[in-house]
Structure 1
Amino acid sequence: MVDKVHFGVGDILVFLASLVLSMFVGVYYAFKDRRRETVDNYYYASRKMSAVPLGLSISVTFISALTVIGLPTETYIFGFVTIWHCTTLVLPTVIACLYYIPLIHRLRLATIYEYLEMRFHRNNRVLSSGIEILSMILYMGTTVYIPSLALSAVTPLSTNAAILLTSGICTIYTVCGGLKAVVWTDAFQSGIMFVGTVAALIQGALVVGGFGNVWAAMERSGRFNVFTFDLDPRIRQTALTYLTGTVTSFMNIACCSQPIAQRYLSCETVKQARITVSSGINSLSAMVLSDFILPRKPKLSSKLQMIISKVTGVVLGLILTVISYLCSLTNGTIISLVLTVRGSSGGPMLGVFTLGLFFPWCNKWGALVGQAVGTLFCFWIAIGSLIQGRDVYYDRVMPISTGGCPAINATNMTSPLLNDSIIDWNTTQPMMVYDIGAEVDLIESKSYNNLYLISFMYYSMIGLFVTIIVGNVVSLITGNNNTEKMDPKLFVPIIDNQCFPANVRRFFRFGVPPLGPENEEKMGNMDSGGENFPLKETRNVVEVRESMTHVQQ
């Protein structure tokens, strides 16, 4: 076996410079804003952030280590069908711009889950925020683990030491500098990711003798499976799984996740927020403070709120470190693990917001039961799949042996990541390489429950539809809301553009009164006019808003 390749002196200097700069950004904003330590400035940058760094920050949120390291691994193992991943953000971005961004700015939410308390009941807010906190902790633990694994592969650091270094620096600059530090560090890191990706693409092509050889190798190994539109939901990934399941997952992130909503709210206007289309710790601490602490202790002083925010950030950083250590003990690819968890909770989360925005007759019981049933049903399938294991036929694994590869021998290097858990595709079952010409009856096992064989990439879509269906049925049983008495500020009609006839727009309001002309949301103007139809806020929401206003002053 050839020697493992480590960073050179120049590589280490560049790496250290990036760490020092990230730390500097956090310390800089902590010093600069030391006399403006308010919750609004800490979590939302006083709602005056520029759209450009926020847009880059959102890009980094979507294109994290899971994409930079995990997606190429998925492509290597399962084929070029993963190219559809690049198209899955289009529809979620459109939906966010048309419906969710105007609503979020109109209501000036403390967290995205405050909407659920306004629309339904406090219990809906607590349930959703609690589920999202647990889901995000697992997700963020994974995003810390993956770069740590890569770092340990090219430096003398062990994986555990790399985890401690990565999570420690992220926690420090986030806790010290708040959202401003997070956004500007993300903007800086987006440049590194872009340059690094382009450099790897060029260098990789040079090593194997040009892009023509790359294409020839892909065709030779059967990896050009882009146009695989198999309707069988048991197949791990096809073009259809990306265009349905993954789109649903990204729609949840773009429309109703706190890290993204927090960036929307940091823009001064709706127009800037629409343009924008490591923050996890900052967003989680915002959720803990706004969704769980302030509703019970609304009179907390500004100083105490800031102390709680920063202590919460440190505690969350420690939890993420532990989760990262545990990631190395899991089977299956990292993307499978994360999408299983996020899909099981994200689809029902999107479902309850969909019920709130577009189904005015849905009541609090429908939303609560719908989300609970959707989440439990998805986790039931996920846990059943983990216990049963997958039929290897449906995973369609490509040949992954590098024996005799001239490129690896010519560069005198190994790829430690290929032997680590990042592509430990399924160590509990025998390896089977997919053979397009093989007879299905000779491979397919008859002892599996088909429900548990459904691809994890469909979990989010399943959770979305189960939540919507159950939510409407339960609302019908327990008594639908009277849509004519509902608050119009809490709804966004599916069709409300002036290019449509008035009767069509009236139909899609489903009986909800229209907003007064002075309250209509205009593009680029987030400030509503008079209170023609005041919001019916709960006592907790009012008290928290008063507390936040007092802190901002």
Structure 2
Amino acid sequence: MLDINHFGAWDYVVVGATLLLSLLIGVYYAVVGNKTNEDLLTGERKMNVFAISASMLVTYLSAITVLGYPAEIYANGIQIFTSTLLSFIFVPLSCYMFISVFYGMQLTSVYEYLELRFDTMMVRWCASVSFILQGLVITGVVLYAPSIALERILGLPIWASIVGIGICGTVYTSIGGLKAVVWTDVFQFFMIIVGMISIVAKGLISSGGIYETFRFASEHGRLDLLDFTVDPFMRHNTLNFVLGSGFSMLCLYGTHQPQVQRYCSLPSFRHAMKAVFLSIVLKVFTMSLVLVTGISIFATYVGCDPLLLGQIKKYDQIVPHFVVAELSYLPGIMGLFVSCVFSAVLSSVSSSLNSLSAVVWEDFLSHMKLFRTMSPRGQANTTRCLALIFGAITMGLAFVAQNMGAIYQAAITAVGAISGPLGAVFLMALFIPCVNKWGATAGMVTGLSTMIFMSIQSFLMEKPYHAPLPTYIDNCPPETNFSLITQKTDIFGNSTVLQEIEWPEKLYTLSYVLYPFVGGLITTVVGTVVSLLTGGWTDAKKLDKKYLHPILQKCLCCPIKEQPIRKPTYVHADRISGVYDFNPHASNPNLFYNLKYEAVPTKPEGGV
């Protein structure tokens, strides 16, 4: 075990400044604006393109990325980077399939679309509740996970880490709203980049430079990217990444509340597209840094593996170990690394809290007379209270995670399977006209319950363990302490290695990468079949085709008929995007109406 008493005054200054600046950004936006829910949840739809693109990225750059991905690359090579490269295909596809439709509707909660499409609150509420449960549990885990690493470096109690990060993120999110979340995300993005660059620089120097680093990695099989084996039970291969990560990317960029909320906060469709494509560039750059981090640390320890020496208990600790062992002599560098981890956690926590508040307000509270009749300031204060409540709940869940062990980990695995079925509901709504409310609900419930059951069983059962790539201790310095050396068989436990698992238990060994795809497939099949059995084609003939994807609206064989003219509906101008007729009789000059559709904007500029 390394000495952790290397955290000096400059390190505390760096960490303190990071947290303080994050709070000050929230205070600033609380003072200069955020008087209404429109300000808190959409940033008045006037956000900056770069800020939104950085926020879209760091929303999913949790401490798991900073600590776990380099460890994965160290132990198993760069195959996981395949999912990053797939961004060039699936993110633009997501723009065409989802963003071109949802931006024009200017939604605050993406689940509002499901109510419009299926003409019922049932589907909307089912999807909203699923998202809320998923968001709460995952945010609790994101808050808890890095506290273990911080305890190793700082000697900081786990509870102090949870409370410190949790309170900071909750406060600036609740008072500053989306503007504070986005601009702190920008600041935290740069902190993550600077922290990773410092580790990469030291790793490259310690291993002899870029050429030597990649030579060591290549010789030991860490640079094998593609594997075209067709095996759904194989942990990582190219086909599994294409199906699983590709489908997951479609869902996350196109239908996940934090992302939809961000690109709908931009002033035009063209701005939204710029932000999405810029986020791809930022993602590839950031994940490339993560990749080089893992490779450079491997090259540093290529003949003296800390796990085999017993200096760490698992590879997830390799990055903190490297920082303590190689960088602790530099004033402020350990503080920079801790700030990097804090920033990764804060960005995920704040984005989740803001999105959860938006969904609960838009999908539930805004439909209640008590809240609907409140003043704009009262509604904004209610939303702030929601963020505070969710922040307290996630901190509580983080403490629960500390004491529940395997049961809680199984719950996290299950929650991770939710994104596929939720994304499939939106796919059916946009691209399969015959799917009705009964099919959508049945498909979603079946998909969610099946994947949650599978993921829990997968975690609880004894299954073949995946052996990491070989590491060695034949090139350690003379002063190395070998007294803690551990055999590999002891490190990884008594996993089933040679015994073949029989059906149906073998189903639970499905690659975790494929869970979103399988969940989406089950949801789509069940949803379509149930719809056809409950009058789906009859319902399709009554469907307002503006809720389908534009490519289906133009399809000659499409049986959908446009709905008759409705009663004129008045709508605030700041809630629409497109050309509307001015209403000269309205007492409020900012009110417009559309004689044909209820509060439905025309095709956005640059849209599909």
**TM-score, reference length from structure 1:** 0.81
Please tell me whether the aligned partners of residues 115 and 121 of structure 2 are also in contact (alpha carbons under 8 angstroms). Answer: yes
Match of 1:430 among 466, 470, 494: 494
Structure-2 change in CA distance of 1:335 and 1:329 (3 Å): closer
Tell me, yes or no, if structure 1 residue 160 matches structure 2 residue 159. Answer: yes
Q: What is the one-letter code of the residue matched to 2:536?
A: N
Q: Structure 1 residues 477 and 529 mapped into 2: Cα distance closer, same or farther (>3 Å)?
A: same
2: CA distance, partners of 1:207 / 1:356? 54
Aligned to 1:324: 398
CA distance 1:21–1:536, shift in 2 (3 Å): closer
Q: Kindly report which structure 2 residues correspond to 1:461-480, keeping only aligned pairs within 5 A, or say none.
A: 461-480=517-536
Give the match for residue 307 of structure 1.
381
The 2-side partners of 1:532 and 1:506 are apart by 25
Give the direction of change, closer, same or farther, for the CA distance of 1:475–1:408 in structure 2 (3 Å limit).
farther
Q: Which residue of 1 aligns with 2:458?
A: 385
Considering only aligned residues, what root-mean-square deviation do their CA atoms show, in Å?
A: 3.2
Q: Deviations over 1:382-428 (max 9, x none)?
A: 12212223221xx2433467x46648979x9xxxxxx9xxxxx9999
Q: Equivalents in 2 of 1:336, 1:6: separation in Å?
A: 36
Q: CA, structure 1 residues 14+408, in 2 after alignment: closer, same or farther (shift >3 Å)?
A: farther
Alignment deviations for residues 295-317 of structure 1 (CA, whole Å, 9 cap, x no partner): 23333332332232122111111
Q: Contact (CA 8 Å) 2:410, 2:455: kept in 1 or not?
A: no
Name the amino acid aligned to 1:443. L
Quote the residue 2:7 is aligned against: 7
Counterpart amino acid of residue 494 in structure 2: P
Structure 1 residues 301, 405: closer, same or farther in 2, change over 3 A?
A: farther
Task: Return 5+ residue gaps in structure 1 as ranges.
Answer: 413-418, 420-424, 433-441, 497-504, 517-524, 538-553
What are the within-5 Å matches in structure 2 for residues 331-342 of structure 1? 340-342=413-415
Q: Say if 1:205 and 1:337 are closer, same or farther in 2 by CA, change over 3 A.
A: farther
Give yes or no for contact 1:515–1:532 (8 Å, CA) kept in 2.
no
Matched, 1:289 2:356: no
Cα–Cα, structure 1 residues 345 and 226, in superposed 2: closer, same or farther, change >3 Å? same
> What does 1:490-505 align with in structure 2 at a 5 Å threshold?
490-494=547-551, 505=554
Contact 2:464 2:498 in 1 (8 A): no
Alpha-carbon distance between aligned partners in 2 of 1:536 and 1:182, rounded to the nearest angstrom: 28
**1:217 Cα deviation after fit:** 3.6
The 3-state SS of whatever aligns with 1:397 is coil
**Counterpart-to-counterpart distance in 2, 1:335 and 1:91:** 32
Give the deviation of 1:38 after TM superposition. Answer: 0.4
Partner of 1:85: 83
Q: Deviations over 1:318-373 (max 9, x none)?
A: 111122234445778x99985x3454211000110001111112110010001111
1:215, distance to aligned residue in structure 2 (A)? 2.9
- CA offsets 1:192-227 (integer angstroms, 9 cap, x no match): 112222221121111122234433443444333322
Structure 2, unmatched stretches of 5+, are 277-349, 566-575, 582-593, 601-608
Task: In structure 1, give the amino acid aligned to 2:543.
Answer: M
Q: What is the deviation of 1:513?
A: 5.0
CA contact 1:390–1:453 (8 Å) conserved in 2: yes
3-state DSSP of counterpart to 1:506? coil
Equivalenced residues, count? 493
Task: State the partner residue of 2:93.
Answer: 95
Match of 1:130? 129
| TM-score (norm: length of structure 2) | 0.74
Encode CA deviations 1:159-180: one digit per residue, 9 max, x unaligned: 2211111111001111111111
Relative to 1, partners in 2 of residues 1:127 and 1:463: Cα closer, same or farther, differing over 3 Å?
same
Q: Pairwise mapping of residues 351-362 of structure 1 onto structure 2 (< 5 A)?
A: 351-362=424-435
- 1:140 deviates by 1.4
Q: Is the 1:66–1:335 Cα contact (8 Å) retained in structure 2?
A: no
Pairwise CA distance, 1:481 = 4.1
Structure 2 Cα separation of the partners of residues 244 and 46 of structure 1: 37
CA distance 1:253–1:508, shift in 2 (3 Å): farther
Cα 1:361/1:426, change in 2 over 3 Å? farther
The correspondence of residues 451-470 of structure 1 with structure 2, limited to 5 A, is 451-470=507-526
Q: Which residue number in structure 2 is paired with residue 16 of structure 1? A: 16
Output aligned runs, 1:496-535, within 5 Å.
Answer: 505-507=554-556, 509=558, 511=560, 513=562, 526-529=577-580, 531=594, 533-535=596-598
Alpha carbons of structure 1 residues 430 and 397: separation in structure 2 relative to 1, 3 Å:
farther
1:435 alignment partner in structure 2:
none
Shift of 1:468: 1.0
Query: Whole-Å Cα distance in 1 between the matches of residues 57 and 478 of structure 2?
Result: 33
Alpha-carbon contact 2:27-2:176 (below 8 Å) kept: yes
- In structure 2, the CA distance between the partners of 1:409 and 1:79, relative to structure 1 (3 Å rule), is farther
Q: For residues 240-286 of structure 1, what are the alpha-carbon distances to aligned partners after superposition, in whole Å with 9 as ceiling and x for unaligned?
A: 22222122222211111111111112111111111221211011011
Seen in structure 2, the aligned counterparts of structure 1 residues 326 and 229 have a Cα distance that, compared at 3 Å, is farther
Q: Residue 176 of structure 1 aligns with which residue?
A: 175
Aligned to 2:543: 486
Q: Name the residue aligned to 1:522.
A: none
Match of 1:469, SS state, is helix
Name the residue aligned to 1:58: 56
Q: Quick one: structure 1 residues 427 and 119, their matched pair in 2 at CA, closer, same or farther if it must change by over 3 Å?
A: farther
Rounded Cα–Cα distance in structure 1 between residues aligned with 2:61 and 2:73: 16
Q: CA deviation at 1:102?
A: 2.6
Cα contact 1:53–1:183 (8 A) shared by 2 = yes
Task: Tell me if structure 1 keeps the 8 A contact 2:221–2:469.
Answer: yes
CA distance in 2, matches of 1:328, 1:399: 32
For 1:527, give the aligned amino acid.
G
- Give the percent of matched residue pairs that are identical in Structure 1 and Structure 2: 30
| Equivalent runs, 1:345-356 vs 2, <5 Å | 345-356=418-429
Deviation of 1:379 after TM superposition, in Å, equals 1.2
**What is the Cα deviation at residue 100 of structure 1?**
1.9
Cα shift at 1:454: 0.5
Q: In 2, Cα distance between the equivalents of 1:93 and 1:335?
A: 30
Between the aligned partners of 1:426 and 1:127, the Cα distance in structure 2 is 45
Q: Give distance in 2, aligned partners of 1:488 and 1:456.
A: 37
SS state of the match for residue 225, structure 2? coil
1:189 paired residue number: 188
Q: Does 1:116 align with 2:103?
A: no
